A = this chain, B = another copy of it.
Amino acid sequence: MATMKVHGNVGSTATARVLTCLYEKDLEFEFVHVDLRSGEHTKEPYLSLNPFAQVPAFEDGDLKLFESRAITQYLAHDYANKGTQLICPGRQMAILSVWLEVEAHQFHPPSSKLVSELAVKPMFGMVADTAVVEENEAKLGQVLDVYETRLSQSKYLAGDTYSLADLHHLPNFLYLKGSRSMQLFDSRPHVKAWVDAITSRPAWSKLLALKNQK
């Protein structure tokens, strides 16, 4: 079997999503660094791997994929027998799909906006826009109210076992941890217990170790 390749950047949240999934699935891969500062992702040959000029891109033999959530779903389905089981059979998969979509359409927009304001802007010497931060903290707070109820009924989002739906939330914690916005998570007990559970998994520790090496 050909080695899998991840083309990405360890500072990128979408790259972190794919790497964390590979660690959970206990799959070997080659990491190919893409230099975002020099704009390597906006030029050939990278554009042939991801025409939207974003990281990551992924290769498994002759199969070439992009979009982090499509890559993780491929790994979860096609390597179902390796490492952590991240999906489930039958109708329970429909519930898992609901929470995959909730991450993409409810959680991701405000939380990634907060990452951008509170972590990315300061890296480039810019100041966070307080109005944007407050607006997105209010939106995220409403989303987390729903999560608090859900997580009082089951330990994880799709049920009592860890799944891809939980994993997809991890990347933004790379930058939210330590920020003022963590208070939104810490003040909701079931949400806090869930964040503690998903961020203490060995696969996430491996991702943090890789990021800190670079």
Q: A94 and B67: CB pair below 8 A?
A: no
A95 to B98: give the CA distance in the assembly, Å.
21
Contact flags A78-101 to B (C-beta < 8 A → 1, else 0): 100000000000010111011011
Q: How many whole Å from A116's CB to the nearest CB in chain B? A: 14
Residues of A with Cβ closer than 8 Å to B? Answer: 51-52, 63, 65-70, 73-74, 77-78, 91, 93-95, 97-98, 100-102, 104-106, 143, 146, 149-150
Contact of A93 among B68, B77, B97, B102 (CB under 8 A): B77
A70 and B52 in contact, given A104-B104, A104-B105 (Cβ under 8 angstroms)? no
A70 to B157: give the CA distance in the assembly, Å.
15
Give me 8 other A-B pairs in contact (C-beta within 8 A), A65-B97, A69-B101, A70-B94 excluded: A51-B146, A52-B102, A65-B98, A67-B97, A67-B105, A68-B101, A77-B93, A104-B105
The interface residues of chain B lying within 8 Å CB-to-CB of A93 are 74, 77
A93 to B78: give the CA distance in the assembly, Å.
10
The interface residues of chain B lying within 8 Å CB-to-CB of A63 are 91, 94
Q: A70 and B91: CB pair below 8 A?
A: no
The interface residues of chain B lying within 8 Å CB-to-CB of A67 are 97-98, 101-102, 105
The interface residues of chain B lying within 8 Å CB-to-CB of A74 are 93-94, 97
Q: B106 and A52: CB pair below 8 A?
A: yes
The interface residues of chain B lying within 8 Å CB-to-CB of A105 are 67, 104
Q: B102 and A65: CB pair below 8 A?
A: no
- Give the residue among A52, A77, A94 with the most B Cβ atoms within 10 A: A94
A69 to B91: give the CA distance in the assembly, Å.
15
Contact of A100 among B52, B68, B70, B94 (CB under 8 A): B70
